[in-house]
């Protein structure tokens, strides 16, 4: 039984040192988007915010101090590539924020076993 990696797009702003991880297309303008601080649950020492829609579906992450975040990931998970670790983090945050039925199900229906 193989794992299906979660699809996401990583955007990094070097000027602000902030990364945006998008896993769902932007919702319509009239949909409320909430931001939930998941920093303590991840324990990486940099602020990580989850973006969820009004139904609680995970839309993506905002990662402050991305260079420090990458270093913390490398120290914590030596053998993993940053992209694979982001897959694991997205799966964990999805579990923390998931509603009964996710609007982004088509992107990943399987949560990695390592999460």
Q: Give a yes or no: residue 16 inside a domain.
A: yes
* Interatomic CA distance for residues 39 and 99, integer angstroms: 20
Query: What are 16-50's pLDDT values in tens digits?
Result: 999 999 997 777 778 888 999 999 988 888 999 99
CB distance 65 to 49 below 8 Å: no
pLDDT of residue 19: 97
Q: Give a yes or no: residue 18 inside a domain.
A: yes
Q: Give a yes or no: residue 111 inside a domain.
A: no
Q: Give a yes or no: residue 29 inside a domain.
A: yes
The total number of structural domains in the chain stands at: 1
Q: Give a yes or no: residue 114 inside a domain.
A: no
Q: What are the backbone angles phi and psi of residue 76, rounded to the nearest 5°?
A: -75, -35
Q: Has residue 76 got a pLDDT over 90?
A: no
CA 100 vs CA 24, 55, 72, 80, 104: distances in Å: 17, 9, 32, 30, 12
Q: Give a yes or no: residue 107 inside a domain.
A: no
Q: Give a yes or no: residue 71 inside a domain.
A: yes
* Interatomic CA distance for residues 90 and 82, integer angstroms: 12
Domain encompassing residue 92: 9-100
Query: What are 55-66's pLDDT values in tens digits?
Result: 888 999 999 999
């Amino acid at each position: 039984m193989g794992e299906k990696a979660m699809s996401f797009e990583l955007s990094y702003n070097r000027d602000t040192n902030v990364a945006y991880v998008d896993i769902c297309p932007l919702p319509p303008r009239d949909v409320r988007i909430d931001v939930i601080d998941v920093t303590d649950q991840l324990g990486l020492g940099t602020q990580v915010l989850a973006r969820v829609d009004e139904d609680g579906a995970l839309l993506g992450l905002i990662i402050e101090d991305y260079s420090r975040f990458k270093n913390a990931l490398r120290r914590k998970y030596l053998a993993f590539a940053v992209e694979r670790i982001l897959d694991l983090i997205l799966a964990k945050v999805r579990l923390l924020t998931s509603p009964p039925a996710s609007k982004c199900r088509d992107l990943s229906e399987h949560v990695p076993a390592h999460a």
